[in-house]
Structure 1
Amino acid sequence: MSDTNAKILVVEDDEDVRRSLCAWLAMTGYAVIEAADGLHALEAIEAERPDTVLLDLRLPGLDGFGVLSALARQADAPPVIVISGQDGIEGVIRAFRLGAADYLQKPIVSFDLLDHALRAVLERCQLSRAVKLAENRYFNLVQNLPLLVFVLDEQLELAFINKFCRSLLGFTRPQAQAMPGFFLSRIHPEDRDRLQACLRRGLSPQERTRTEECRFLHKNGATIHALLRAIPVSRNGPTGPTGTIEGIVVDITDRVELERFVVQEEKLKTLGAISAEVAHEIRNPLFSIAGFAHRLQARLPDNREAEIILSEARRLEDILDKISNFLHPVDLRPRLCSLRGIVTAALDFLTPEFTARSVTPHTDLAPGLPDLRLDPDLLTQVVTSLVRFAASRVHTGGGISLVSSRHSRYAHLDVDFLPGRSVIDPELLFLPFEEGDERMGLSLAYRIVKNMGGSLTFVQRGSEAAFTLQLPIDPLAALPDGFDDPDDAGPDDADPDLPPAGPGVGRL
């Protein structure tokens, strides 16, 4: 008896031959379906989904060649063993060209030969399904990894990229693969030459795997800090071995910003501790000086020096109060809020100031950001302070860019501008040393963001300056867009450019 539960369709117009074949198949252990002509055969294949078809070529109506032609247009057609009494070699060749898996001559003198042919076809079919299943699993795994997987050909053009492309760079897979030079164009201009030289060296199979830290550009202009791991692979092409590069890109923007924040925080802690100690040491003699100045002014009301001493004492007392307040936590009232809505509210509030100086704000706010569970009033105050400071620094008629993006479990807001004059001592930017509106409440903004569990950093490179506001996303929020992208290939879609299993995806 057969050890398989395979279902066999017998297509034969001769009733005696058909019954003989069906009886032997049933006795051997197969499930059997019958059809007397080509049209009924196709209907049975559609309805029953047999594992193998035994097909006669000479059939009434639609003949066996017509059945083979119809099955050739189906992606998941069952394998066909032709059993025919045709003597001409032309019929045999034509049957194989149309996709026949095997060919047996009628009459069948030995059922052992048929049994061997069936077992061979079913085994090949089973192996083919296993390979396809493994390919689909690998394809789905690669597509849904929370990192960018890519393959570059000899011209450094994309041969493959996974669905995380949309989350990381803002482009769908079809968009990325349709753009010539896409991969190199998304590398930050300051890193492009270095990375291009590294990738070209990697086309040699003798080159070792390399990991480079670099920056990419999101579709909305945001800078993405990343680790790129390039793996040289040799493939056999039509003209001989060709070099390709398989690799991954890991988004480390959150880590870079947090490291920058930690460095900035340590500096501020040191300065804050010194400031608190100095404030404590100054406060007592300050009271004495102010007291003497009051007595002197009471005795000599017209004395100018006494008024100056009192004015400076009040100013110093105000600075000491700011330092004291800076070291205390902020009272937060968190609730769900939209970063897009907060940015819009802050820009609306600052419209009169923009108009007065002809400053133009430009926004590119990611539509898929989930709501944040933070204090919306204080967060609006933070964004207002950052934008107001940027507006105060740009030339009249200048512009400010506000770009939001998502990286893992953080939402980012970058406020980029070209200052008319550079910021002196940017390490002191978030400390409450300055009086008046020069720093536009940045020390309070820093305190608020820190108490929200986020980070606020300032970077000045050449003529450019930028604040980066990093805010935590609710852990229960949805995963980033792009994991289930309707514009991308589905889990069952075949991809001829899919990199093979093995060295394709390395580990950092």
Structure 2
Amino acid sequence: MKRKNDNTVLIIDDEKSIRSTLSLFLSDEGYSSNAFELPSEALAAQANNKYELALVDVNLPEMDGFKLAEKLLENDPDLTVVFITGFDSFNDVIQAIRLGAYDYLKKPLMPGELTLALERFEERKAFREKIRQAEQLNTMLVQNIPVMLLTFDSDLNITFANRASRNMLGFTPEECTAEGWLFSRMTENDCDKFDNSFRDAVKKAKPFSEIIKIRHREGHFVYALFQSLPLVPDTPDSDRMRCAVTDITDRILLEKKMVLDEKLKTMGTITAEVAHEIRNPLMSIGGFARRLQNRFPSLAEAEIIVRESYRLEKILNRINNYLSPVKFQRVECNAVSILRECLELLEPEIQDRKVHCRSILDEGLPPVYADPDLLRQVFVNMVLGAIRNMQPGSELKILTESSEDKLEIRFSSPYPPENPIDPEKVFTPFEDGGQSIGMPLTYRLIKNMDGELNFLTEDSNAVFIMDIPMGNAQPENSADEISQAFNCMPSNPAGSLENLLQREWLRSAREMKPLGIISLEIENIDIITADMSDEEQANLFNALYSSLQDILKRAADFLSSCGSRTFVAVLPGTDRDGVESVAHQMTQSIRNTTAELTGLPHHAIVIQTGTAVEVPTPEQMPEDLVDKAVYNMRTGK
């Protein structure tokens, strides 16, 4: 059977008749060939051509076939070598096998043997291709899987890392394999935890699993889950530990946020109750004590009562301030100048504490996108929090530098060994026994401005790393950007959704009546408007807005928008059945209006609707109800 083959076979034999016979036979089988008498000719031809099969005579001039095969394989290890000889020598067979020969043919050559040798060559070639494809697939999977794969030696140095390291941590695999790299990216506490857990797992031959914080190249921390992979026995790396590393930052932060939200809700309820039950009696006690103090100036007890009443009132205000929503307005501002102003303001406090402050501030850094007043509060909290825990004579170091689209500010100060800082609680309010909420509040303010605040320990120093968005990289949820990017969406001329909803929320809470929310959007609006101009899109959204507004008959009902595609209707004093009825009418109106303006059939317009109805309570915020309606819209509930 004649085979289709693009590869050329290399023939080396000192007998012309053998070369001719082999060339003719290979041609009949579908192979092209290059035949040579001398080994030097064959080596020269190999330098300019790719051969997959070589038929080599053992007895040759210049050098024997074994020596020639050794050189050919040295140039191309994938070459398949078949020896041809007129002698039936066992030693020759052994030597051929040692050189890696795939087959061994004896003269005179028989067509059947040659055919069988070619079939074995093709089988080996197909098997090699399968191995190559499997290795390529394995490499592709290992390198492109969205999980970081690491191999460690006995000293806990990384000997292999896949390309996921760049996406997860910002480092190339080559950088990850530098000696001591992993520990240089961990906090001091995590270094000890990882080392102990890892060595214990190796010693006891048990699975290894640990959550470790690793510092990204850009400065923020990544929560990484290290999990050991099963060892492959009888392999060169069977004594090395392999780990899969997963980025679980979002999960950890979400869990912390959920816990914090629950704490805040509980504290909010307690605060409201405490403020209601204590504030009035507290004012009466303070006023009575002040009258006593005026009547009897020498009465020390009255002064104590006045002072402690004022202190208790400040505690109530402090808790209330933390739990209250933060309102801010971000603009471009010079964070370095604001920080310098705060340091000048706090200079007397720093001197009174007998500590030093060394600041390395780069005045040439670009402006940041933040609220200047909140930044002042943040910087004051950071500096006061540091110096109040420092021993006399110690030094607070403040360093500013830019990192891509963010300004990084590092606050580093020594902490007493007898009073270590728990990284898991440093940003949790009241975890320190109620002494302060400065750091948790600072964390909250920074997060609200789309920044980051991380904590680590370095050589007995507490280091807080603050990242604030630069002015030329505004956050996605900034009001300015939204108004520019989504100018096709109509707005309520009476005011923003937040303000209008706040008004109706308070009224419904006061009257103890239900408040209904409807959220609607066209799920495939991007496809529908793909070929529309900005003006056509604006006309479509204005028409939809008008059609929905016509459905709201009562004066208190109002319509607004949320984001780029979501309409929000607020229905005060409406129960669930009423809200569902209005939502159905609005759905039909959106479908009819869109079909009329675009010419699309009704079934091609996919609309999502979500509703939520609540009687407002002190434990809730107005945006919670909107979030619930949007969530129900997304989930189809």
Shift of 1:236: 3.6
Shift of 1:34: 4.2
Instruction: Give yes or no for the alignment of 1:271 onto 2:267.
Output: yes
Shift of 1:113: 0.5
The structure 2 residue matched to 1:189, chosen from 192, 196, 205, is 192
The structure 1 residue matched to 2:328, chosen from 328, 331, 335, is 331
Instruction: Give yes or no for the alignment of 1:390 onto 2:393.
Output: no
Instruction: Give yes or no for the alignment of 1:77 onto 2:53.
Output: no
Instruction: Give yes or no for the alignment of 1:161 onto 2:132.
Output: no
Shift of 1:29: 1.9
Letter in 1 for 2:227: R
| Contact residue 361 and residue 399 of structure 1 kept, 8 A | no
Change (3 A) 1:320 1:173: closer
Aligned residue for 1:101?
102
Shift of 1:148: 4.0
Shift of 1:252: 3.5
Letter in 2 for 1:18: R
The structure 2 residue matched to 1:445, chosen from 421, 442, 445, is 442
How does 1:396-415 map onto structure 2 within 5 Å?
396-398=392-394
2:10 partner SS: strand
Aligned residue for 1:210?
207
Letter in 1 for 2:270: I
Letter in 2 for 1:213: E
2:55 partner SS: strand
Aligned residue for 2:558?
none
Cα distance in 1 for partners of 2:77, 2:329 equals 60
| Contact residue 169 and residue 218 of structure 1 kept, 8 A | yes
Change (3 A) 1:8 1:212: same
1:328 partner SS: coil
Shift of 1:84: 3.9
| Structure 1, gaps ≥5 residues long | 203-208, 364-370, 405-409, 477-508
| Contact residue 197 and residue 208 of structure 2 kept, 8 A | no
Residue deviations 1:236-278 (CA, integer Å, cap 9, x gap): 489xxx8765443434455334433432343233323433555
Cα distance in 2 for partners of 1:194, 1:413 equals 33
Cα distance in 1 for partners of 2:452, 2:216 equals 24
Residue deviations 1:120-157 (CA, integer Å, cap 9, x gap): 1232233123223322432342244443434567x676
How does 1:463-482 map onto structure 2 within 5 Å?
none
Aligned residue for 2:127?
127
Shift of 1:116: 0.9
Shift of 1:103: 2.3
| Contact residue 170 and residue 219 of structure 1 kept, 8 A | yes
Shift of 1:189: 1.4
Aligned residue for 2:227?
229
Cα distance in 2 for partners of 1:397, 1:317 equals 31
Change (3 A) 1:68 1:379: farther
Cα distance in 1 for partners of 2:5, 2:242 equals 42
Shift of 1:52: 1.4
Residue deviations 1:32-87 (CA, integer Å, cap 9, x gap): 34445434434443444232122335556676445423333245532122234466
Change (3 A) 1:120 1:140: same
Shift of 1:193: 3.4
Shift of 1:466: 6.7
The structure 2 residue matched to 1:199, chosen from 192, 199, 202, is 202
Aligned residue for 1:139?
139
Cα distance in 2 for partners of 1:376, 1:75 equals 67
Shift of 1:397: 4.2
CA RMSD, aligned part only?
Answer: 6.1
Letter in 1 for 2:118: L
Shift of 1:375: 3.9
Aligned residue for 1:482?
none
Aligned residue for 1:26?
27
| Contact residue 148 and residue 249 of structure 1 kept, 8 A | yes
1:215 partner SS: strand
Change (3 A) 1:69 1:251: same
| Contact residue 54 and residue 81 of structure 1 kept, 8 A | yes
Cα distance in 2 for partners of 1:344, 1:97 equals 76
Residue deviations 1:408-448 (CA, integer Å, cap 9, x gap): xx9999967544596999754699x99xxx86x65653443
| Contact residue 225 and residue 253 of structure 1 kept, 8 A | yes
Cα distance in 2 for partners of 1:474, 1:119 equals 67
Cα distance in 2 for partners of 1:55, 1:102 equals 11
| Contact residue 38 and residue 62 of structure 2 kept, 8 A | yes
Residue deviations 1:444-474 (CA, integer Å, cap 9, x gap): 53443343467768899xx986768699999
Shift of 1:118: 1.9
The alignment covers a number of residue pairs equal to: 438
Aligned residue for 1:499?
none
Which has the higher mean CA deviation after the structures are superposed, 450-459 or 127-136?
A: 450-459
Larger radius of gyration: 2
Cα distance in 1 for partners of 2:175, 2:69 equals 38
Change (3 A) 1:249 1:183: farther
Q: TM-score, structure 2 length as denominator?
A: 0.50
| Structure 2, gaps ≥5 residues long | 401-405, 477-637
Residue deviations 1:321-380 (CA, integer Å, cap 9, x gap): 993686234335489x9xxx97999599759968983346899xxxxxxx9x96486679
Change (3 A) 1:374 1:25: farther
Letter in 2 for 1:390: A
The structure 2 residue matched to 1:248, chosen from 244, 247, 258, is 244
| Contact residue 355 and residue 395 of structure 2 kept, 8 A | no
Cα distance in 2 for partners of 1:56, 1:122 equals 21
Cα distance in 1 for partners of 2:58, 2:44 equals 17
Cα distance in 2 for partners of 1:380, 1:45 equals 75
Residue deviations 1:168-195 (CA, integer Å, cap 9, x gap): 7898766776759989997631454344
| Contact residue 226 and residue 251 of structure 1 kept, 8 A | yes
Identity %: 28
Shift of 1:23: 1.9
Letter in 2 for 1:268: L
Cα distance in 1 for partners of 2:244, 2:208 equals 10
Letter in 2 for 1:130: K
